Amino acid sequence: MWSFAAGSNLSTSTIFNAEKESRRNLNKFYKELRTLKIVNMAGRQFGDDGLFFLAESLAYNKSAEEVDFSGNGITAVGIEAFDGILQINTALTSLNLSGNAIGDEGAKCLSDILVGNVGIQKLLLNSTNIGDEGAKAISDLLKKNKTIRTLQLSNNTIEYSQGFASIAEALLENNALRSLYLNGNYGGPLGASSLAEGVVGNKTLRELHLHGNGFGNEGLHALMSALSAHKGKITVLDIGNNNITSEGSLHVAEFIKRTKSLLWLSLYMNDIGDEGAEKVADALKQNQTISTVDLGGNNIHSKGVSAIAETLKDNTVLKTLELSYNPIGPEGVKALCDVLKFTGKIQTLKLGWCQIGVSGAECVADCLKYNTTLSTLDLRANGLGDDGAICLARSFKIINESLTSLDLGFNEIRDDGAFALAQALKANEDLAVTSLNLANNFFTKFGQVALSEARDHVYEMREREIDIYF
């Protein structure tokens, strides 16, 4: 329970009132655990003492199915509160302890407790100071536990030597786990190689989230080779921020060609460049499953985007394309728009921070007059200004029944641009836009009023709501 140290500069009555309030809150939390199916107690800071009080309510509990105890100052000592409780609880399916510094000792304690649990399917232990020893304990748990389907261990201090190696060993024996999150650890090339050995022998994994592990091209080669030989059905793969260059993209491209199950691929914040983009684009011509690709922040210019655009002419499965933080410029966006004007199946296109400028906005505006698939378009921070906003506003006056969400934040749009967008919203009765983000621009209260009046006009005339964010 919350407490105040002796000698703190607080009156006796203040301390008494604070402790009384803490007890009242804990009783309220206790009741929630007894009655609600989904209980969110994130960030309540009740600490170890509070957890000992609350954990008791989970014994023989038939109500709570998902419990979030994240960010509550719980340590390894507090984890002991679950002993004798989680072994007999069969209703709880999801337990979130992220953001609590339980460390390796807490991970060991929790793993010992969960060996006998038959209910929990989702275990979240992100940002909990777990290192190699804790990862080894959790790996031993995975060898015995048959119910955990999702395990999140992101943003910890798990390294290649024991941590990744022990997780790989567990994957060879475990036939229940579907989703594994190891983002933001310290795998490195050797960690990727270790993990590859476990992946190749596992048939149940569906999602691998490995963002920010410094695998490099060497580690990526081992991992992609394992995935290509993998007999399971990986559907989601996140290998963003792993120091991958155009050399590494070759291994990714080979996997793209071979996979018959992958639906979602992220290479976000690597450095594959134009050469890597061309390899990925060529591989996508032979792929019939991937619907989402994230190539944001990869130093791709107009040449690389032109190759991707060419692929979109024949690819009918790709629905979401993320290209933000790439300097594709006006030429790159023109290559995309020339294709998307009449072909492709892209529904979500993200081009924030791509340096497309006013001339790029003209290409987008022209594309929107004809495109019938785009529903979400992100053009943040492209220096569009009033001229770019006016170009896009003109395209709104043409019937477009597909675009529902447009993001124009950070574009230096002033009142003239805001007025043009407002008039366009009023003028087109068939405009499908329901969300327009104009945050962090330069228009005054006059521009805001014009847009607010346009929003109200649309509602009054068509009984349709548009969310406009300033």
* DSSP code per residue over 245-287: BHHHHHHHHHHHHH-SS--EEE-TT-B-HHHHHHHHHHHHTT-
Q: Which residues contact 215 (CB under 8 A, 6 or more apart)?
A: 187, 188, 189, 191, 192, 223, 239, 242, 243, 244
Inter-residue contact 384 to 358 (CB < 8 Å): yes
Q: Percent of the chain, pLDDT > 70?
A: 95
- Residue 21 belongs to what H/E stretch? helix 12-35
Over residues 295-321, the mean pLDDT reads: 97
Residue 137 reports pLDDT greater than 70: yes
Domains detected in the chain: 387-470 (3.80.10.10)
pLDDT tens for residues 90-121?
899 999 999 999 999 999 999 999 998 999 99
| CA–CA gap between residue 469 and residue 105 (Å, rounded) | 46
Over residues 304-323, the mean pLDDT reads: 97
* Residue 11: predicted pLDDT: 52
Residue 4 reports pLDDT greater than 80: no
Over residues 184-210, the mean pLDDT reads: 97
What are 122's strand-pairing partners?
A: 94, 150
* Residue 464: predicted pLDDT: 87
* Residue 83: predicted pLDDT: 95
**H-state helical runs in 313-444:** 329-340, 357-368, 385-396, 415-427
Q: What is the pTM of this model?
A: 0.93
DSSP structural state of residue 6: T
Residue 335 — φ and ψ, nearest 5°? -60, -40
CA angle at residue 346 from 345 to 347, to 5 degrees?
110
Over residues 240-245, the mean pLDDT reads: 98
| CA–CA gap between residue 144 and residue 174 (Å, rounded) | 8
- Reported as a pLDDT band with limits 50, 70 and 90, residue 58 is confident
Query: Which letter, b or e, does each residue of 259-279 get, where b requires 16 or more Cβ atoms within 10 Å of its Cβ?
Result: beebbbbbbbbbbbbbbbbbb
What are 245's strand-pairing partners?
A: 271
Inter-residue contact 268 to 296 (CB < 8 Å): yes
Over residues 384-401, the mean pLDDT reads: 90
3-state secondary structure at position 345 = coil
Write the single-letter amino acid at 332: G
Over residues 321-335, the mean pLDDT reads: 98
Inter-residue contact 151 to 121 (CB < 8 Å): no
Residues found in the chain: 470
Residue 211 reports pLDDT greater than 70: yes
| CA–CA gap between residue 135 and residue 111 (Å, rounded) | 10
Find the range with the poorest average confidence among 11-15, 133-137, 395-399: 11-15
Mean pLDDT, the chain, as a whole number? 93
Q: Percent of the chain, pLDDT > 90?
A: 83
* Residue 6: predicted pLDDT: 47
Residue 12 reports pLDDT greater than 60: no
Q: Smallest Cα–Cα separation from 445: which of 406, 412, 418, 411? A: 418
3-state secondary structure at position 350 = strand
What are 159's strand-pairing partners?
A: 186
Burial of 37 (0-12, 13-18, 19+ CB in 10 A): exposed
